[in-house]
């Protein structure tokens, strides 16, 4: 069974640009969550999508957005990039209801210059 | 808001010893508490989950305890090996929300 796949793995952008990250969940997983990981703040929840609907959102500005497609693949977008957006962006998928046991991808490392 | 704390300092132990990592939280108890392992440059990997009505859970050399009175979970690795060196994250899980609240993680270094 293929794991969670994230693309691209690494990218460099400049301030003011926008970026789109992609995530393919494990087959059969309908829930996709996104997290931001930085050395200072650790892992922080961005949002969760289930059946193409955003069900939960973390405390991030509106520059951070996402969507989910009918095949459960998800994308997140960050507009008007700031230096502080440099981070590892992790996507995770899960199958069942109840406990949130997540399977994470390897992440997309974003550097903003 | 819910807060979670892990030992911020690295934990260095000798191979064969038991590593014990601590996770403390404030406010209300979660439905579940989870532990993940993260290696450099990789995403976290799920290890164990314990429910609020469970005191202890074991899986091979791993043991997790959950004390809702103390608002604390302990994570033990017995007979530790250098391959156990990694960052270990605890996470509060309120159940069926897709959202986990993660601690900062504790880096474990097991020396041969």
Please determine, for residue B17, whether its predicted confidence score (pLDDT) is greater than 80.
yes
CA distance B42 to chain A (A): 5
| Cross-chain residue pair B95–A100, CB shorter than 8 Å | yes
pLDDT for B96 equals 66
| Cross-chain residue pair A98–B95, CB shorter than 8 Å | yes
Max CA distance (Å), chain A:
41
CA distance A17 to A80: 5
Cα four-point dihedral sign A69, B49, B2, B97: positive
Report which DSSP code applies to A83: G
Of the candidate ranges A18-22, A37-41, B58-62, the one whose mean pLDDT is the lowest = A37-41
Count interface pairs A-B at CB distance under 8 A.
68
Please determine, for residue A98, whether its predicted confidence score (pLDDT) is greater than 80.
no
Which residues of B, range 33-62, sit inside 8 Å of A by Cβ?
A: 34, 41-46, 49, 51
Check CB contact of A101 with chain B, cutoff 8 Å.
Answer: yes
Percent of the residues in chain A that have a pLDDT greater than 70, as a whole number: 96
Q: Please, which pLDDT band fits residue B13 given cuts at 50, 70 and 90?
A: very high
pLDDT for A70 equals 95
Give the nearest chain A residue to B32 (CA atoms): A99
B31 CB burial (10 A radius; 0-12, 13-18, 19+): middle
Q: Which residues of B touch A44 (CB under 8 A)?
A: 102
CA distance A18 to chain B (A): 23
The string of pLDDT tens digits covering residues B71-90 is: 999 999 999 999 999 999 99
Percent of the residues in chain B that have a pLDDT greater than 70, as a whole number: 99
Please determine, for residue B94, whether its predicted confidence score (pLDDT) is greater than 90.
no
| Cross-chain residue pair A97–B99, CB shorter than 8 Å | no
CA distance B45 to B34: 11
The string of pLDDT tens digits covering residues A56-97 is: 899 999 999 999 999 999 999 999 999 999 999 999 999 766
């Amino acid at each position: 069974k293929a794991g969670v796949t994230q693309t691209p793995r690494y990218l460099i952008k400049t301030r003011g640009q926008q970026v789109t990250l992609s995530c393919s969940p494990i087959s059969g997983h309908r829930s996709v969550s996104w997290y931001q990981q930085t050395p200072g703040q650790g892992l922080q929840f961005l949002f969760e999508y289930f059946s193409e609907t955003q069900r939960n959102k973390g405390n991030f500005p509106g520059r951070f957005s996402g969507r989910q497609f009918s095949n459960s693949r998800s994308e997140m977008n960050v507009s008007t990039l700031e230096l502080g957006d440099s981070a590892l962006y992790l996507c995770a998928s899960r199958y069942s209801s109840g406990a949130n046991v997540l399977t994470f991808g390897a992440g997309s490392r974003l550097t903003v210059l | 808001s819910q807060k979670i704390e892990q030992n911020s300092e690295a934990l260095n132990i000798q191979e064969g010893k038991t590593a014990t990592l601590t996770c403390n939280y404030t406010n209300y108890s979660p439905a579940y508490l989870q532990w993940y392992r993260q290696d450099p440059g990789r995403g976290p990997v799920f290890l164990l989950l314990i429910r609020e009505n469970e005191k202890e859970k074991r899986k091979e050399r791993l043991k997790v305890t959950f004390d809702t009175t103390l608002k604390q979970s302990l994570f033990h690795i017995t007979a530790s090996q250098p391959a156990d060196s990694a960052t270990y994250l605890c996470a509060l899980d309120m159940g069926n929300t897709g959202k986990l609240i993660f601690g900062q993680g504790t880096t474990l270094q097991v020396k041969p």
